[in-house]
Amino acid sequence: MPAPASAKERPDSTGASAVPRHVAIIMDGNGRWAKARGLPRVAGHREGAEAARKVLRAAGEAGVECLTLYAFSSENWRRPEAEINDLMGLLRFYIGAELNSLHREGVRLRIIGDHSAFQTDVARLVDDAVAKTAGNRRMTLAVALNYGARAEIVRAAQALAHRAAVGEIAPAQIDEAMIEGALDTRDLPPLDLLIRTSGEVRLSNFLLWQAAYAELIFVDTLWPDFDGDCLRAALVQFKARERRYGGL
Ligand code: FPP
């Protein structure tokens, strides 16, 4: 059995020397952080955006190539309208305040998920930020917006089914690489490490395909309290893990 593509691409698939190329984070616990302080939930999200800024910097300094943050899931539409508006406002503010420094620092912004469902001005701001930073090479920040992994896989299946229906490919040709090439993450490095904060131990429809061989780290820290030191501690844990990709 050949090693999966993600293992083949790495010089050291045991992970012994590795800084993960791609780290993804489920940033959970903003609401509980705020509640514990008697603050409105939006205060937790605001502090969460601050944590995202710190963690992005620490990831870049550690040599991580790509950081993917789960900022808005396709299930988040079930939250009260006021909270959705707060999250949109925060995204607007974050892009306005951070875009120039992201660009200066060579960060490329990528979006996964379907953010066209967002308020028009937010969707446009996001598109402009993606276009402005498209040529940056130092690091990629991928933000998951209106993202759900099952919907992503459905979109990939539909795209490949369409190509088969028009005779561009034969159904039997469809393999793992082709599916990977049709996912939103197609131009991101293979996912090495997935972190979830706040003590919840599940994937919640995040990067289900991509997490197949990722190391998983669950921490009790609430997202607004997660900082550069917490990320560095997770990177140390990652380094100690032995990655076998199904081998011995
Ligand atoms: C989960 O906490 C967090 C979210 C649903 C939103 C994450 C958004 C941010 C961190 C701010 C915006 C980020 C960027 C990159 C602009 P929760 O509300 O589910 O917390 P709870 O489980 O304690 O209620």
Residue 238 pLDDT grade (very low, low, confident, very high; cuts 50, 70, 90): very high
Q: Which domains does the chain have, with CATH numbers?
A: 19-240 (3.40.1180.10)
Cβ of residue 119 lying under 6 Å from some atom of ligand 1: no
Element (H, E) at 161: helix 149-165
Instruction: Choose the catalytic residue: 76, 114, 136, 227.
Output: 76
Q: What is the pLDDT of residue 8?
A: 41
Residue with tokens 């289900």: 208
3-class secondary-structure state, position 244: coil
**Best of 28, 88, 98, 101 for a ligand 1 pocket test (most atoms within 8 Å of beta carbon):** 28
Report residue 107 as tokens. Answer: 């960060």
Q: Which of 27, 85, 205 to mutate to test the pocket of ligand 1 (most atoms within 8 A of CB)?
A: 27
- Say if residues 100 and 129 touch (Cβ distance below 8 Å): no
| Known active-site residue 128 | no
The tens digit of pLDDT for each residue in 89-128 reads 999 999 999 999 999 999 999 999 999 999 999 999 999 9
Of all protein residues, the one whose alpha carbon is nearest to atom 12 of ligand 1 is 49
pTM of the model: 0.92
Q: Please identify, by atom number, the ligand 1 atom nearest to the C-alpha of residue 44.
A: 18
Q: Are 23 and 67 spatial neighbours (Cβ–Cβ below 8 Å)?
A: yes
| Helix (H) or strand (E) run with residue 111 in it | strand 107-112
- Phi-psi category of residue 146: left, alpha or beta, with phi > 0 → left and psi -120 to 50 → alpha: left
Is 28 an active-site residue?
yes
